Amino acid sequence: MPLPELDPEARSAALAKAAQARRIRAELKQMLKAGEVSLADVLDRADSVDALAKMKVIDVLGAMPAYGPVKARRLMEELGIAQSRRLRGLGPRQREALLATFDTGS
């Protein structure tokens, strides 16, 4: 099914909304890497900010200090979280497991 044609005004509004979402996600990942926010903060914010709720868990974990793509993927496999999972789609047990992992400093 092809995407609907947008008029120029709607197209520019959609592009601006997408750019804003990318900016929000990039700022959050930078704050995570710097240790300015915790994983618990990110999960709390994802409940109210749609742009964050749509972030992939692997991207968030990869932005954690001392974590990269490989370590993040391994952790997700250990915790039984699918690679395609987004923050909004995390179940309560998955959230608890992630928080417990980073609370203990492992």
**DSSP 8-state secondary structure symbol assigned to residue 20:** H
Tens of pLDDT, residue by residue over 77-105, are 999 999 999 999 999 999 999 999 987 54
CATH class of 8-103: mainly alpha
The pLDDT of residue 3 is above 80: no
A 10 A CB-CB count for 17 gives 12
Tens of pLDDT, residue by residue over 28-53, are 999 999 999 999 999 999 999 999 99
The pLDDT of residue 106 is above 50: no
Mean pLDDT over each residue of the chain, to the nearest integer: 92
Counting DSSP H helices and E strands in the chain, the numbers are 6, 0
Which residue from 50, 43, 54 is spatially nearest to 92, judged by alpha carbons?
43
Residue 55 CA to residue 106 CA, distance in Å, equals 23
The domain segmentation of the chain, as residue ranges, is 8-103
